[in-house]
Structure 1
Amino acid sequence: MRILELLGICFAALFVLLFAIFFRLRLFMVGGGTIRLQVRVSTMVAGRGWSTGVGQFVGDELRFHRMFSLAFRPKRVLNRTVLVVEERRRPEGPERLTVPAQWCVLRCSNGEAGQIEIAMAESTVTGFSSWLEAAPPGQPGGTSRPVIRPRTIEQ
């Protein structure tokens, strides 16, 4: 009988944990201005190190929250005043196992923070580039600088 009680407690704890994770994601999505994306958090192994999550647009910041985390603080914060997209490409090599084929991988320079790679759906890239270019007049990061270099993607 003790084994069944222990299994029941473990099952209930797992259920509460999963509920908390998805409730947290739902809280981020309620206000709108969110997108699904992946951020490359590690470049130790080629094509690996991608983390799935939700991007939340808040003013001049894109806040990345990991999907399977309980933290309310973002894992990464990208500021549009210093963010420049340098390359746009399709997933290649081992990345194709993690990143969906219809998504684009954007290699960005994030000011002094260095390089960062993010992946998002093709339709989301259009909105993302509009957000980058839509800074208020007079701010750095407005439409006076090139954001995404024109380049066609071969299929």
Structure 2
Amino acid sequence: MQGLFDQVWFRIAEWLVFTLLLVALLLLIGVTVRRFVLERGGGAVECHLRAVGPRKGPWRMGFGRYGSDDLRWYRIFSLWPRPAAELSRRGLVVVGRRTPTPADLAELAPDVVVVEVGWAAADGSDPKEPVYELAMSESALTGFLSWLESMPPGTIWQS
């Protein structure tokens, strides 16, 4: 009787492991397909993001997708189809640029540049404190600055 009981538990454990592996594989496929769909139109760049100020949190790995009005930032390891953050292009200002600190290097690669961004005040003055920090490669930073300074054809900015 004991041998039969052991076989039943072994079968249950075997199916449980098989089911967990299948779920993990489906999640991996889902994340990969989501990223492919979001990046296929172009205008996407890998970058890390974190909020600054009183709610300063850890760096989050993801990618930004350039639009005509905003930069939409998506988490890499997520199935959620909507962006986790949207940085409006209107009034977006680079507050500062720096190399990663030793504390940052625990989460970032050493070859990235950290860019602090915020939005201009209603009177047009530059922000005093950044709202977000973006960490990206030099080439991605060049593209970001180009996107920030350019204006799509036919766009009329309201003042």
Q: 1:42 to 1:109 in 2, by over 3 A?
A: closer
- Find the counterpart in structure 2 of residue 92 from structure 1: 101
C-alpha change, 1:59 and 1:49, in structure 2 (3 Å) is same
Q: Which residue of structure 2 lines up, in the alignment, with residue 80 of structure 1?
A: 89
Q: 1:95 to 1:44 in 2, by over 3 A?
A: farther
Could you tell me which amino acid in structure 2 is paired with residue 81 of structure 1? Answer: R
Residue in 2 that maps onto 1:29: 39
Question: Taking every aligned residue pair, what percent have the same amino acid on both sides?
Answer: 30
Whether 1:7 and 2:23 are equivalent positions in the alignment is: no
User: In 2, distance between residues paired with 1:91 and 1:140?
Assistant: 36
Normalising by the residue count of structure 2, what TM-score does the alignment of the two structures yield?
Answer: 0.79
Aligned match of 1:17 in 27, 31, 51? 27
The CA RMSD measured in Å over matched residues stands at: 2.4
Structure number with bigger Rg = 2
Contact 2:100 2:110 in 1 (8 A): yes
- How far does the alpha carbon of each residue in 1:69-117 deviate from its partner, in whole angstroms, 9 at most, with x for none? 11111011011112100100000021012111111101111357x6111
User: Which residue does 1:116 correspond to in 2?
Assistant: 132
Counterpart of 1:139? 157
**Any idea what SS the aligned residue of 1:27 has?**
helix
CA contact (8 A) 2:48 2:136 kept: yes
Q: TM-score, normalised by structure 1?
A: 0.81
CA change 1:26–1:54 in 2 (3 A) is same
Instruction: Check 1:43–1:8 CA distance in 2 against 1; reply closer, same or farther (3 A cut).
Output: farther
Contact 2:71 / 2:86 at 8 angstroms: preserved in 1?
yes
Give the count of matched residue pairs.
140
* 1:50 alignment partner in structure 2: 59
What does the per-residue CA deviation read over 1:108-148, in whole Å, with 9 as the maximum and x for residues that have no partner?
11357x6111111011111111111102575379xxxxxxx
Judged with a 3 Å threshold, the aligned counterparts in structure 2 of structure 1 residues 111 and 75 are, in CA distance, closer, same or farther, namely farther
Question: Runs (4+) of structure 1 moved beyond 2 Å?
Answer: 41-46, 136-141
Letter in 2 for 1:115: V
Aligned partners of 1:130, 1:140: CA distance in 2, in Å?
21
Structure 1: segments with no counterpart, 5+ residues: 142-155
Task: Supply the distance in 2 between the matched residues of 1:117 and 1:58 (Cα, whole angstroms).
Answer: 19
